[in-house]
């Protein structure tokens, strides 16, 4: 399984193992904190416009479709499909070196928006565009939980 | 669009040494390029009253245009730092033309480049790029994409939708390497085959290392003045015939991946020039990755969406082909010192319409298209350069 399941913090939320470089983690800001708070609670939320009803991602403070500032964090089903993917064989930095090969993908959510993520829970060579996936959550540190996606079980 | 007269011409170009140049700092490389451009134009530093440059990655310059002006000992009446990432080189030419048309200055030095390779290790450069903003710091970087991974997502989707093949991607690298072999200042000049590309190290599927731009030291410079003043200078000018910009996203995680703002920049460039893709004799297409060239050829209108893979086959984009592409060797082989990388495409467009491209001259080239791409197929600037001024 790939990287986010080997969090830089120990399983008990303790200090990173000696010698393992820190991986870059999101630093939530005022506009994005609700997304990361929801992820910690194992919920996937997306900004949705109260006025035009459209979802968008990544989070903005104005709706990119109609410029309304009336946005609402809305729970998503967590279901989607692989829109594109790449198997990374050369880590961008030592922090990711233990993870290779790993799958970076964009997923098209059932609600419409696309997002970047990892595909976990299957061999990298098994990943296909169009594959049904559902969200899973990996505790990367005491503060940050990353949404990742795994193959959806058959309905 | 405002009907401003932007009739301008490029009257001098110059390059530093390109490749591994450990004995030159970023500012020295830029000064080398600037001096070569002045010599080419028959001008002196004292003739320069406008300056445009781009940021560098290797060191922090507070107000880069000020740092470069100070180093060159000039006091420009107009100066600015252009940052449209890889589209900066093309954009500098148009922004120089606007500054001249407004009457603010007459003779603009555009210069960009740095010692991206020698300043640190290749690994350091790769890491800095991965965390340098092309990937969203909160929603993308934590998942561990390389910059090449972001383009690999484009390639994988393009292959899925249109049947584009790894061999077609490789054909781009092979052709552009062959062009670099004809450029004495190119960084990588040894020929490669499709088999070499496909057997080179897989970096981030489907992109092998030979599908990716290299990392280089180097700088490029060009001097822009009015078309009227160009007539009094000794060099043969390259005229700016048209230009366009396009931006459809900042990060690619939330996009359709296979259609870019080059649709908009190309359409506007052809409209402002009164030309069409059929009028283009040679195209200097931004080539940070092999897939970039295929997508841009489609979006600029040289073939239909989805046909870019077939278009690059059969020698069509090589010298002697239907549309020679990136004839100096580009970012894949010629040299890629960061934001300045796309500026070498401008210089090659100038050489081609001046008839100065030597062994890689496209016979009788009258119109060159230059295309810059910044971010992850994010921001685009297209120029059309001509051997004759627009009517």
B385 touches chain A (CB under 8 A): no
State whether A86 and B136 contact (CB < 8 Å). Answer: no
Which residues of B are less than 8 Å from A47 in CB distance? none
Q: Which residue of B has its CA nearest to A23?
A: B142
> Looking at the partner chain, which of B139, B142, B204 has a beta carbon nearest the beta carbon of A89?
B204
Q: How far apart are CA B360 and CA B183, in angstroms?
A: 8
Could you tell me the two tokens for B55? 């940021």
B128 touches chain A (CB under 8 A): no
Three-class SS state of B298:
helix
Min Cα distance B134 → chain A (Å) is 13
Q: Does a structural domain hold residue A68?
A: yes
State whether B153 and A105 contact (CB < 8 Å). Answer: yes
Q: Give A45's strand partners.
A: A75
DSSP state of A24: P
**Residue B161: partners with Cβ closer than 8 Å, 6 or more residues away:** B258, B306
pLDDT of residue B2: 44
Q: Which residue of A has its CA nearest to B146?
A: A92
Count of domains for chain A: 1
Below-50 pLDDT ranges, chain B: 1-4
B130 touches chain A (CB under 8 A): yes
Residue B329 has a CB neighbour count (10 Å cut-off) of 28
Look up the domain containing A121 and give its range. 28-151
pLDDT of residue B5: 53
Question: What ipTM was assigned to the predicted interfaces of this complex?
Answer: 0.94
State whether B144 and A92 contact (CB < 8 Å). Answer: yes
Q: Does a structural domain hold residue A16?
A: no
State whether A84 and B157 contact (CB < 8 Å). Answer: yes
Q: Does the pTM of the predicted model rise above 0.90? A: yes
pLDDT of residue A17: 53
In the numeric block, the tokens 């410079």 are attached to B221
Q: Are B225 and B97 contacting, i.e. CB atoms less than 8 angstroms apart? A: no
Q: Which residue of B has its CA nearest to A138?
A: B143
> Looking at the partner chain, which of B152, B207, B254 has a beta carbon nearest the beta carbon of A114?
B254
Q: Give B378's strand partners.
A: none
Three-class SS state of A97:
helix
Express as a percent the part of chain A with pLDDT over 90: 83
Reply yes or no: is the peptide bond before residue B173 cis, omega within 30 of 0.
no
Reply yes or no: is the peptide bond before residue A58 cis, omega within 30 of 0.
yes
Q: How far apart are CA B330 and CA B326, in angstroms?
A: 6
State whether A92 and B145 contact (CB < 8 Å). Answer: yes
Q: Which residue of B has its CA nearest to A140?
A: B142
- pLDDT tens, B91-136? 999 999 999 999 999 999 999 999 999 988 778 778 877 777 789 9
Handedness of CA B380, B381, B384, B390 (dihedral sign): positive
Q: Does a structural domain hold residue A1?
A: no
- Give the pLDDT mean for A80-108: 97
Could you tell me the two tokens for B107? 């003779």
pLDDT of residue B70: 97
State whether A114 and B204 contact (CB < 8 Å). Answer: no
> Looking at the partner chain, which of B130, B149, B253 has a beta carbon nearest the beta carbon of A86?
B149
Residue A26 vs residues A56, B131, B253: alpha-carbon distances, Å: 19, 12, 15
Which pLDDT band, with edges at 50, 70 and 90, does A153 fall under?
Answer: confident
B140 touches chain A (CB under 8 A): yes
pLDDT of residue A20: 65
pLDDT of residue A29: 94
Q: How far apart are CA B91 and CA A125, in angstroms?
A: 41
> Looking at the partner chain, which of A28, A87, A129 has a beta carbon nearest the beta carbon of B160?
A129
Residue A20 has a CB neighbour count (10 Å cut-off) of 13
Q: Which residue of A has its CA nearest to B209?
A: A90
Min Cα distance A46 → chain B (Å) is 12
Q: How far apart are CA B159 and CA B206, in angstroms?
A: 9
Q: Does a structural domain hold residue A124?
A: yes
State whether A92 and B207 contact (CB < 8 Å). Answer: no
Q: How far apart are CA B389 and CA B391, in angstroms?
A: 6
Q: Which residue of B has its CA nearest to A148?
A: B143
State whether B257 and A99 contact (CB < 8 Å). Answer: no
What's the CATH superfamily of B8-119+216-230? Thiolase/Chalcone synthase (3.40.47.10)
- pLDDT tens, B350-373? 999 999 999 999 999 999 999 999
B163 touches chain A (CB under 8 A): no
Q: How far apart are CA B220 and CA B29, in angstroms?
A: 8
pLDDT of residue B129: 79
Instruction: Identify the helix (H) or strand (E) that includes residue B202.
Output: strand B202-204
DSSP state of A102: E
pLDDT of residue A154: 57
Alpha-helical segments (H) within B223-320 = 227-230, 262-273, 290-299, 308-311
> Looking at the partner chain, which of A27, A28, A106 has a beta carbon nearest the beta carbon of B253?
A106
Instruction: Identify the helix (H) or strand (E) that includes residue B112.
Output: strand B107-115
B133 touches chain A (CB under 8 A): no
Top-confidence residue, A110 or B3: A110
Which pLDDT band, with edges at 50, 70 and 90, does A15 fall under?
Answer: very low
């Amino acid at each position: 399984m790939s990287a986010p399941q080997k969090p830089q913090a120990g399983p008990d939320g303790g200090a990173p193992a000696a010698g393992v470089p820190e991986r870059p983690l999101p630093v939530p800001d005022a506009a994005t904190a609700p997304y990361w708070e929801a992820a910690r609670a194992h919920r996937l939320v997306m900004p949705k416009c109260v006025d035009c009803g459209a979802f968008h991602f990544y989070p903005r403070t104005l709706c990119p479709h109609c410029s309304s500032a009336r946005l609402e964090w809305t729970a998503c089903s967590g279901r989607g499909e692989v829109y594109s993917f790449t198997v990374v064989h050369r880590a961008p930095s030592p922090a990711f070196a233990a993870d290779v090969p790993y799958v970076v993908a964009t997923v098209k959510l059932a609600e419409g928006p696309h997002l970047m993520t990892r595909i976990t829970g299957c061999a990298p060579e098994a990943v296909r565009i169009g594959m049904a996936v559902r969200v899973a959550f990996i505790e990367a540190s005491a503060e940050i939980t990353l949404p990742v996606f795994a193959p959806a079980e058959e309905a | 669009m405002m009907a401003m007269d932007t009739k301008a011409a490029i009257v001098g170009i110059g390059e530093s040494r390109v490749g591994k140049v450990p004995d030159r700092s970023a500012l020295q490389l830029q000064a080398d390029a600037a001096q070569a451009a002045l010599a080419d134009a028959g001008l002196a530093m004292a003739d320069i009253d406008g300056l445009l440059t781009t940021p560098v990655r290797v060191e922090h310059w507070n107000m880069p245009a000020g740092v470069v002006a100070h180093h060159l000992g000039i006091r420009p009446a107009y100066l600015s730092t252009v940052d449209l990432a890889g589209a900066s080189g093309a954009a500098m030419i148009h922004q120089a033309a606007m500054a001249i048309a407004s009457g603010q200055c007459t003779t603009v030095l555009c210069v960009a480049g740095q010692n991206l390779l020698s300043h640190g290790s290749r690994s350091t450069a790769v890491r800095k790029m991965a965390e340098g903003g092309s990937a969203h710091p909160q929603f993308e970087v934590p998942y561990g994409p390389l910059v090449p991974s972001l383009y690999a997502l484009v390639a994988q989707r393009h292959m899925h939708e249109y049947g584009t093949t790894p061999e077609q991607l490789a054909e781009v690298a092979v052709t552009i390497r062959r062009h670099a072999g004809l450029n004495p200042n190119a960084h990588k000049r040894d020929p490669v085959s499709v088999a070499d590309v496909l057997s080179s190290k897989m970096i981030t599927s489907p992109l092998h290392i030979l599908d990716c731009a290299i990392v280089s030291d180097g700088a490029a410079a060009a001097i822009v003045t009015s078309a009227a003043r160009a007539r009094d200078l000794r060099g043969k000018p390259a005229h700016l015939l048209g230009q366009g910009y396009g931006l459809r996203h900042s990060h690619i995680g939330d996009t359709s991946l296979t259609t870019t703002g080059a649709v908009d920049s190309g359409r506007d460039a052809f409209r402002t020039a009164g030309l069409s893709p059929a009028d283009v004799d040679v195209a200097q297409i931004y080539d940070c990755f092999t897939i970039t060239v295929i997508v841009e050829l489609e979006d600029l209108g040289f073939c239909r969406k989805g046909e870019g893979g077939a278009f690059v086959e059969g020698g069509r984009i090589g010298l002697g082909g239907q549309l020679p592409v990136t004839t100096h060797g580009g970012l894949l082989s010629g040299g890629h010192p960061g934001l300045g990388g796309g500026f070498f495409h401008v210089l090659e467009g100038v050489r081609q319409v001046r008839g100065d491209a030597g062994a890689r001259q496209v016979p009788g080239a009258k119109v060159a298209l230059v295309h810059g791409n910044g971010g992850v197929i994010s921001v685009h600037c297209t120029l059309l350069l001509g051997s004759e001024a627009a009517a």
